Amino acid sequence: MADLNTPVRYIRGIGEKKAQALGKLGVFSLYDLISYFPRKYEDRSVYKPIALAQNGESVCVRALVADTPRLTRIRRGLELVKLRIADESGLAELTYFNQPYVKDNLHRGESYVFYGKMEVSGSRRSMVNPIYEREGAEGGVTGRIVPLYRLCAGLNQRVVMQAVRQGLDACGELLPEPLPEELRQRCGLAQARYAYENIHFPADFGALALARRRLIFEELFVLACALDRMRGQRVRDGGILLAPVEMEPFWASLPFRPTGAQRRAVAEALGDMRSGAVMNRLVQGDVGSGKTLVAAALIWAVWKNGLSSAFMAPTEILAEQHFATLSGLLSPLGLRVGRLTGALTAKEKREVKAALKAGELDLVVGTHALFSADVEYARLGLVVTDEQHRFGVEQRSALIGKGGRPHVLVMSATPIPHTLALIIYGDLDVSVIDELPPGRQKVDTFPVDESYRARLDNFIRRLTSEGRQVFVVCPMVEENEDLPVKLKSAQEHAAELAARFPELKVACVHGRMKAKDKDAVMAAFAAGETDILVATTVIEVGVDVPNAALMIVENAERFGLSQLHQLRGRVGRGPHKSYCVLVSDAESEEVRARLAIMRKTNDGFQIAEEDLRLRGPGDFFGSRQHGLPETHIADLGADTQILQRAKAEADALLREDPELAWPEHALLRERVEKLFQSGRDSFN
């Protein structure tokens, strides 16, 4: 007897080779197999008499083979089988290309179902390569909605479909039901068995919708439970109580006035820290909106209360940069600021750790090294994490576990839809910085094509002769001959530029370099030692080079709008008028429309919305940038209503049974722990 863990080899028709191919798709057991959901569906449920099918319509027809199929060889490598079929309404001519065996499979005078696109020209009707089978055939591929799966070499649709069919027959009854019965009924969700059956072999589109909804809900519900448990119980009481702090002295110490949005964010966070509960706040603001200053203000207020803070950055270079910025702002006010980064020697690290333990530092800036097991904090009051675009869920919880229950401030430049923020961050509070510091100039943006190359070169000459620096971003690291279109590679382009501008210093940085080398090149550029930095998107993650005034993006069509926006945010950070040039030879209307949006607006939220609209959420949340585990069926960007409901239900359930210890939650617990395990590598 098969069960869900039985290897796919068990299935009739799946031998060594096919099992290996399935393995490439992540399918090993029967459970994997029936959890391998179709990519899309083809509606083959419509039957029509031959004479009523419209030109171009995809239909099933029931018909007799009217003559003996004829095989002809047109030339080497091209064989045709031709035959005619008939029903009561009329005739159609069929042609099969390079399928000589069709000749022997279809017999004159016998009846079959054919599915394909009908072509009508005058009174002549024809179909090319229609699918055929005997009516009522087992595991039929006509007369219904047919699943289409993502394939790889060694598999075809029929093989996968028939394997899934057998898998469902063998153990559909054994499917676990991780959703508590009461919840399932209350939320109007289909049963597991029904959902798995209909996601593969939908009885009709209504059944498919029910199946999808149930499976999406299940996936998001498990994800919400996992994230919630990983974060640990949100501590509602027992937050460190801050005494009121008069902020004016801090504001007065700055070389500029804070924006209204910055003041508001600080006031909101201070309110949290005076409430008695532990603060859990997200500060969301576009690149350049001044989030660091909000953090600095709060670190200062916490210090006024005799407590220390930790500031965690996503990369070494950002940690160094934040260290420089924050000590510049805070040391003059009397705070002792330290750093814990890869740049330190082992001895220096030991010293910093000792100082932290002894309470001799008021602020430490670093990367995830801040939460390694051997780092102990005295009087830790506030943890700030700058996430840029990644959501370091696990790292954050590790840091939060340190030294009691510090307040938490998360900073993010990614405009995440609120529902998604909820599931990622839990029931946190959100401050939005919707105002840029005054005097910030709009970065003028120009979409251009290759014909502008000479003018662009002159522009580079002019700006660099004025002392400015230039970023050039390419979509690839190295030349790749295999790609159909020629894409600029960072290395090659850097070499070209170096040849065209012998008087300028050109450097190149890309993701395949060692972190140390990367940081060195970036640091040299930040210090003004190089004029042009050619890069892949590694520079997206915010290094501040106020002297850079031109951002050139090559093959701009390859980038998402939000990504282009982040890239553009690298310039215009200083007093100099700045520009962004988007080079693209792509002619498609869609690309033109997208690049035009970049010219029109500098508003990151508006751009994110347009991006979502034009490209769909898949790309927006693509490349696993968000650090969440991959979802199989749910779309984090689109399924927001189900997401909201799943999140609310997960919260409610965990309030009742935080450890998922109840017997009726055993299966759910298993699923949550499994996700937890597989997520370990990706939750950061």
> Using CB under 6 A as the criterion, which residues of the chain lie in contact with ligand ADP when the complex forms?
256-259, 262, 285, 287-293, 413, 437, 544, 573
Burial class (CB in 10 A: 0-12, 13-18, 19+), 264: middle
Q: Which is nearer to ligand ADP, 125 or 291 (CB)?
A: 291
- CA distances to 355, 411, 664 from 391, rounded to whole Å, are 29, 10, 32
CB of 311 to ligand ADP, least distance (A): 12
Please identify, using beta-carbon distances, which residue of 290 and 417 lies nearer to ligand ADP: 290
Please state, in angstroms and as integers, the Cα–Cα distance from residue 469 to each residue in 504, 533, 556, 574, following that order.
10, 8, 20, 12
Backbone φ/ψ region at 536: left (φ over 0), alpha (ψ -120 to 50), beta: beta
| Cβ-contact 310, 340 below 8 angstroms | no
Of the pair 170, 313, the CB lying nearest ligand ADP is at 313
Which run of H or of E encompasses 365? strand 363-366
Shortest gap between Cβ of 296 and ligand ADP (angstroms)? 9
Nearer to ligand ADP, 154 or 328 (CB): 328
Q: What angle do CA 44, 49, 52 make, to 5 degrees?
A: 100
- Give the shortest CB-383-to-ligand ADP separation in angstroms: 17
What is the rounded CA–CA span in Å between residue 573 and residue 577? 9
Q: Which residues contact 29 (CB under 8 A, 6 or more apart)?
A: 4, 5, 6, 7, 8
Q: At its nearest, how many Å lie between ligand ADP and the CB of residue 545?
A: 11
Closest to ligand ADP by CB, 100 or 575: 575
Q: How far is the CB of 247 from ligand ADP (least distance, A)?
A: 14
Q: CB of residue 436 vs ligand ADP: minimum separation in angstroms?
A: 8
- Rounded distance between C-alpha atoms, residue 571 and residue 659, angstroms: 48
Contact 584, 611 (CB under 8 A): no
Q: From the CB of 507, what's the least distance to ligand ADP, in Å?
A: 23
Toward ligand ADP, which CB reaches closer, 92 or 283? 283
Q: How far apart are CA 303 and CA 169, in angstroms?
A: 65
Q: Write down the least CB distance from residue 546 to ligand ADP, Å.
A: 7
**Residue 196: closest CA among 184, 208, 186:** 208
How far, in Å, CA of 367 to CA of 395, rounded? Answer: 10
Residue 573 or 576 with smaller CB distance to ligand ADP: 573
Quick check: helix, strand or coil at residue 660? coil
Give whichever of 353 and 573 is closer to ligand ADP, judged by the CB atom: 573
Long-range contacts of 6-11 (CB under 8 A, 24+ apart): 6/30, 6/170, 6/171, 8/32, 8/33, 8/163, 8/167, 10/170, 11/163, 11/166, 11/167, 11/170
Residue closer to ligand ADP (CB basis): 259 or 584? 259
Q: Which amino acid is at 257?
A: R
Cβ–Cβ < 8 Å for 34, 200:
yes
CB closer to ligand ADP, 349 vs 573:
573
DSSP 56-80: T-EEEEEEEE-S--EEEEEETTEEE
Q: Shortest gap between Cβ of 329 and ligand ADP (angstroms)?
A: 9
Give min distance, CB of 258 to ligand ADP, in A.
Answer: 5
Least distance (Å) from ligand ADP to the CB of residue 17? Answer: 53
CB atoms within 10 A of CB 213: 18
Nearer to ligand ADP, 288 or 392 (CB): 288
The residue (of 342 and 437) whose beta carbon lies closer to ligand ADP is 437
The smaller minimum CB distance to ligand ADP, of residues 11 and 567, is found at 567
Q: What is the smallest separation between the CB atom of 684 and ligand ADP, expressed in angstroms? A: 20
Encoding tokens for residue 51? Answer: 């004479």
Minimum distance between the CB of residue 582 and ligand ADP, rounded to whole angstroms? Answer: 21
As to burial, measured by CB atoms within 10 angstroms (0-12 exposed, 13-18 middle, 19+ buried), residue 422 is: buried
Closest listed residue to residue 310, CA positions, set 357, 256, 377:
377
User: Is residue 534 packed enough to be buried (19+ CB in 10 Å), middle (13-18) or exposed (0-12)?
Assistant: buried
| Residue 198 host element (H or E) | helix 192-200
Between strands 111-117 and 78-86, the pairing is unpaired
Considering the complex, state which of residue 296 and residue 509 has its C-beta at the smaller distance from ligand ADP: 296
CB of 588 to ligand ADP, least distance (A): 32
Maximum distance among all alpha carbons in the chain?
A: 97
Task: List CB contacts of 612: < 8 A, sequence separation 6 or more.
Answer: 620, 637
Dihedrals phi, psi of 616, to nearest 5 degrees: 80, 160
